[in-house]
Amino acid sequence: MSRMLATVGAITLGSLLATPVMAQETVTIGAIEILSGPSAAYGTAIKGGLELAMDEINAKGGVLGGKKLALIVEDSAGNKDQAVNAARKLVGRDKVPVVIGPTLSNEMFAVGPVTNGREVVTVGTSTTAKGITEIGPFIFRTSLPESDVVPVTLKTAQEKFGIKKIAMMYANDDAFSKSGFDSMKAAAEELGLEIATIETFGSKDTDFSAQLTKIKGLGVDAITISALVEPISGVVLQARQLGIPSSVRFIGGNGANSPKLGEIAGAAADGLLVGSPWFIAKPDEANRKFVADYKQRNGKDPDQFAAQAYDTMYIVAQAIDRAGAADSDKIRQALYKTDFNGVMGPFTFTEGRDPASNEGVVVLSMKNGRFEILE
Ligand code: 1QQ
């Protein structure tokens, strides 16, 4: 008898614990971002953008008629195994209906098959390699693929600066860096640029003198580089130390589109060109407010990664509302109906779950360690 009572008690207690009051008032989503290590600048900016948008949404009443959004951000440190462990935790333990991130394409190629297999909506805000959304029907991205951006950058370099002969460099141990290079090479060939040499390096390398000395002797007009921000900074600094003049511009991809480049490389990066779907001086009211609020909260300017994350949080929140429930498959279907106008400009998804338009892409040039829009 006493045993039966205990069992009944346990069931009652267990069912109470399974539905705590908080769970009914909160919709918790997960994010996997790089918050430590050499690429932490990317993930820190993304986290700042996500949190700013979430707080604004909650201040305006949250989602699903009054539920607050909550966010669990896991640090991947840029490591794909750590990113997969984070995904397993968010999906298995926290039971989030949406995962935002991970930061790198290299991580997404490991995480995507896991979250897609568990039918959990996953939205990359910074993953730009080819093939990301082809991982499966639950994988979306709000970031423009490099194949949509680097042709604009190279064409601008050719038209504005008469660049004809280039050297190409890329990190051969990172999925984004390799894919970005493939897009740059295709664009260079399309434009009829002369490719004097193609040089590779590793993302953790610190000495690029063999490649740069070779390039120095080739008399190129520009050097394209596809890599993450830390190795790019090292290459740019060493190029100037070895006497490659500042008239030889670097042309970067998404990895270069971070203020971290200016912080590390300073004036050595001056003249570097990068294509970007966003720029800080975008004059519309929504962007001005975003830039001011982000700066006030974080003590520094937002970058492209923060802006993309900020819009993504709104896009996800609107999809949750449109879905009518914190249900991953319903949110997935609702995301296809996204019609959002944010700090990046108008946004919809293609049937393939990629951004529908690259119309907002502008080319930025580095000056005194900061990006300026090329007029
Ligand atoms: C990718 C990228 C990186 C530069 C994101 C930080 O574009 O990995 O796809």
Q: How far is the CA of 220 from the centre of ligand 1 (A)?
A: 27
Number of other residues whose CB lies within 10 A of the CB of residue 346: 12
With a cut of 90, say whether residue 34 has pLDDT above it: yes
Q: Which residue stretches of the chain are H helix? A: 2-18, 21-25, 40-59, 80-92, 105-117, 146-161, 175-191, 209-216, 229-241, 260-265, 285-298, 304-323, 328-335
| pLDDT computed for residue 98 by the predictor | 98
Give the pLDDT confidence of 247-297 residue by residue, as tens digits: 999 999 999 999 999 999 999 999 999 999 999 999 999 999 999 999 999
Query: 375 falls in which pLDDT band (50, 70, 90)?
Result: confident
Question: Which whole number is the average pLDDT over 334-354?
Answer: 97
- Structure confidence at residue 24 as a pLDDT band (50, 70, 90): low
Query: What whole-number distance in Å separates Cα of residue 259 and Cα of residue 161?
Result: 23
199-224 residue pLDDT tens = 999 999 999 999 999 999 999 999 99
Q: Which of 226, 246, 121 is nearest to 184 (CA)?
A: 226
pLDDT exceeds cutoff 50 at 134: yes
* Parallel/antiparallel/unpaired status of strands 249-252 and 222-226: parallel
Q: Kindly give the distance from the C-alpha atom of residue 335 to the centroid of ligand 1, in angstroms, as a whole number.
A: 22
Statement: residue 22 has pLDDT above 50: no
The amino acid occupying position 200 is T
Residues 6+ apart with CB under 8 A from 310: 49, 50, 52, 53, 290, 294, 302, 342, 343
Which tokens is 202 given? 């590793």
Q: Examine the pLDDT at 7 and tell me if it is beyond 50.
A: no
ipTM: 0.99
Residues with CB under 6 A from ligand 1: 42, 103-105, 126-129, 176, 228, 254-255
Given ligand 1 and candidates 126, 147, 178, 181, which is best to mutate, with the most ligand atoms within 8 Å of its CB?
126
State which ligand 1 atom lies nearest to the alpha carbon of 175: 8
Residue 2 has pLDDT above 80, yes or no: no
Q: How far does the chain reach from its first CA to its final CA, in angstroms? A: 83
Pair type for strands 362-367 and 273-276: antiparallel
Question: Does 15 score more than 50 pLDDT?
Answer: no
* Spatial CA neighbour of 49 closest among 153, 142, 111, 176: 142
| pTM attached to this predicted model | 0.93
Q: Which amino acid is at 120?
A: V
Work out the mean pLDDT of the chain and round it to a whole number: 94
Tens-place pLDDT, residues 144-175: 999 999 999 999 999 999 999 999 999 999 99
What are the CA-CA distances from residue 9 to residues 1, 20, 30 (Å)? 12, 17, 33
Among candidates 69, 66, 56, which has minimal Cα distance to 100? 69
Q: Going by CA atoms, what residue is nearest to atom 4 of ligand 1?
A: 255
Residue 145 is given by DSSP the state: P
- 206-210: long-range contacts at Cβ-Cβ below 8 A with a sequence spacing of 24 or more? 206/234, 207/238, 208/169, 208/234, 208/235, 208/238, 208/239, 209/238, 209/242
Give the orientation angle of helix 146-161 with respect to helix 175-191, to 10 degrees. Answer: 40
Tell me, in angstroms, the distance from the centre of ligand 1 to residue 146's CA: 9
Over 60: is that where the pLDDT of 13 sits?
no
CA separation, residue 69 to residues 66, 199, 335 (Å): 9, 46, 17
Contact partners, residue 104, CB within 8 Å, separation at least 6 = 34, 39, 42, 76, 78, 80, 126, 127, 174, 175, 176, 228
